[in-house]
Structure 1
Amino acid sequence: MAQIPSHVPAASYPSPKAVVQLLKPITWFPPMWAFACGAIASGAGIGDRWFPIALGVLLAGPLLCGMSQAVNDWFDRHVDAINEPHRVIPSGRMPGQWGLAIAIAMSVMSMAVAAFLGPLVFAAALVGLALAWGYSAPPFRFKQNGWIGNGVVGLSYETLPWITAATAALGHAPSTRTLLIALLYGVGAHGILTLNDFKSIKGDQQMGVDTLPVLHGAQNAARIACLVMAIPQACVILLLAQAGLQTGAMLVGVVLALQLLCMIRFLGDPEGKAIWYSALGVGLYVTGMMAAAVALGSLTLPAPPLG
């Protein structure tokens, strides 16, 4: 089992900087973006519901996502000592059991905010909380299998925030079409999560973490990731076109075509180009999400007054 380096000086509590590094603000973007997509897709506008929507953004990003990062780093501290020893826990900058304590505290805060937003939001947040702990913590530890773990994260980071935001904006559950598109983007995010696994193949093999690159090899895992990202977006295009939202369907089609061009380069060198594709292709993916959300929102916007 990996040990914290002996040269790291002992500390009784973490610095504020170490806490921020544990919560990884850069990872808050996907669920916050998905939450924004859900609010826009509802067509309700902000209006009098700006406060619950703002609280929902806080819930989706800093609280639930930040909590999930703390949980993951705590239960991954030994494999991180192999793959990324500079991380805040294996490096010793987050001493003792502070990582676990922060994860528990943020779980409690998340549920308090979710309860304030109503029973539907509370139920969605409770599901997200359970998935976040189950992803990293035994006995479930969904991340041990790339098929299950990446699916859990995709649904938690994209589908749940989208649905939660639409519910908070509307005050009731969104349309079936919105639910389907939110689900499709969550499924597609499975492929995005696979991109992150290429950088840690060696450590995952040593620790018995069955990511897709470990299970199927880098080349096959890259093909799977590309298919899993592309097929749901093609389905979104069909749903938008079926609803008469031709502009939205065309915009999602354009960003999908650009992603396909990037995928060709990624497939030529999966391990070398995974980070490159993650930076470029994921940006296109979430751009398509917003285009779909704006199109859905136009369905429920009130008609302009005559005259």
Structure 2
Amino acid sequence: MRPSPDVRIRVQRDVGEGPRSALAGLHRLDHAGTYLPTFAWGALVVASGISALWSPWLLVGLAINALTVFGGFVLNTVVDIRSDLRNAKKRYMTDALRSIGVQRAVRIYFAEQVSAIAIAMTAAVALDRPFIVGATILAIAANWAYSAPPFRMKSRIIIGPLCMGIKSGLAPGLIAMSTVPDTQFNAAASVLLFGLTLSTASRGVWHSIPDLHADQASGIHTIAVRHGAVRAAQGAVLATAIGCGLNLAACIWLMGWWGLVACTGMVITIYHRYRVGSLADESAIIDHMNEPRSEVINARWNRATYSILCVASLGHLVIPG
């Protein structure tokens, strides 16, 4: 992929900024702790017992997820450089791209995705599960379709959030589930996959709201740009609620009373989003979501969704509900 001349960025290094910090910023590794539960929940949900989690293949699943998700961030920054330059919150990513250079960043992205497929092929042969390769390719394809031309799904009204749900919810869950040797994959796990995909897709709608003006200036037609902040917020609340209902049913089915614990973070997320979505004025919603306190609360409970699910899954393996 060769960036157009108007988005090529000359390599430059700021004083005191080294290659490691630039690579970390480009991959958004400051969010690594946030994404670890996203990478692991699938394995914890389908593991037949606590002993299944000692398998080294669990680490292989985490590595594949890390390469596809964090590599996807690199691709997204390269493609979205023009709109990100207008967004002060994303300045650290554009600064990292300036430091590394666009061409080198593209090479890093492709090297990471090839590595992910190679690792997946090794695991597929060792575990006799070709599906691992398919799940990895799905993750890579969803990341590309979401950010890069010719698809550029993030600019599509409905398909964009669904693509986010696949790349950040469905695919990581499938990869983690498929790399645990002794699994109990059943209909309940399928319902949970669908529910978390929908919940994650709602994040795509929600996060488009504070970026409304920058996306509008860049010609990116998200749901927030097309229908306004009020309707986008209401749609995100509805999708989150439906996803939470599916997740709650699946978790109770899988874990008994531990399922109630697993969905605590999801319920609080709905409550927070409902409060914001109930604001009738578009400017009030955008201003509220851009407040530091609101951003912290939203990020905290987005993280808690997968973190609490992981804790409840571990609890169920140790003390069955």
**Structure 2 length normalisation: TM-score?**
0.80
Separation in 2, partners of 1:247, 1:48: 22
Range with greater deviation from structure 2 (231-240 or 164-173): 164-173
Hey, what does 1:278 align to over in structure 2?
298
CA deviation profile, 1:68-111 (whole Å, cap 9, x unmatched): 01111111112222234734446722224112111111111111
Alignment equivalent of 1:83, drawn from 80, 87, 104: 87
Mapping for residues 201-212 of structure 1, pairs under 5 Å: 201-212=212-223
Hey, what does 1:54 align to over in structure 2?
59
Alignment equivalent of 1:193, drawn from 196, 201, 204: 204
CA deviation profile, 1:259-292 (whole Å, cap 9, x unmatched): 3432343223432333244223313422453366
Separation in 2, partners of 1:259, 1:128: 25
Change (3 A) 1:163 1:251: same
Hey, what does 1:163 align to over in structure 2?
174
Separation in 2, partners of 1:80, 1:289: 32
Partner secondary structure for residue 86 of structure 2 = helix
Hey, what does 2:309 align to over in structure 1?
289
Alignment equivalent of 2:260, drawn from 235, 250, 256: 250
Specify the code of the residue in structure 2 equivalent to 1:86: R
Separation in 2, partners of 1:107, 1:5: 23
Cα deviation for residue 209 of structure 1 reads 0.8
Change (3 A) 1:95 1:259: closer
Separation in 1, partners of 2:39, 2:19: 30
CA deviation profile, 1:135-170 (whole Å, cap 9, x unmatched): 111111111114212211222212222222122113
How well do the aligned residues superpose, as a CA RMSD in angstroms?
3.2
Separation in 2, partners of 1:236, 1:9: 46
Are 1:39 and 2:49 matched, yes or no?
no
Change (3 A) 1:151 1:293: farther
Separation in 2, partners of 1:286, 1:258: 13
Cα deviation for residue 237 of structure 1 reads 2.0
Separation in 1, partners of 2:108, 2:191: 34
CA deviation profile, 1:98-128 (whole Å, cap 9, x unmatched): 1211111111111111111112211100111
Cα deviation for residue 60 of structure 1 reads 0.8
Specify the code of the residue in structure 1 equivalent to 2:20: P
Alignment equivalent of 1:140, drawn from 140, 151, 156: 151
Partner secondary structure for residue 301 of structure 2 = helix
Change (3 A) 1:101 1:184: same
Are 1:70 and 2:74 matched, yes or no?
yes
Q: Contact 1:255/1:288 (CA < 8 Å) preserved in 2?
A: yes
Hey, what does 2:100 align to over in structure 1?
94
Q: Contact 2:212/2:224 (CA < 8 Å) preserved in 1?
A: yes
The percentage of counterpart residues that share the same residue type is 18
Alignment equivalent of 1:20, drawn from 11, 15, 24: 24
Give the length in aligned residue pairs.
Answer: 296
Structure 2 segments unaligned to the other structure (5+ residues)? 125-129, 290-294
Q: Contact 1:49/1:169 (CA < 8 Å) preserved in 2?
A: no
Q: Contact 2:47/2:53 (CA < 8 Å) preserved in 1?
A: no
Q: Contact 1:4/1:92 (CA < 8 Å) preserved in 2?
A: no
Separation in 1, partners of 2:248, 2:7: 49
Change (3 A) 1:244 1:48: closer
Partner secondary structure for residue 55 of structure 1 = helix
Separation in 2, partners of 1:253, 1:32: 18
Partner secondary structure for residue 117 of structure 1 = helix
Separation in 1, partners of 2:180, 2:53: 9
Range with greater deviation from structure 2 (203-212 or 284-293): 284-293
Separation in 2, partners of 1:203, 1:244: 42
Change (3 A) 1:240 1:9: closer
Structure 1 segments unaligned to the other structure (5+ residues)? none
Are 1:261 and 2:271 matched, yes or no?
yes
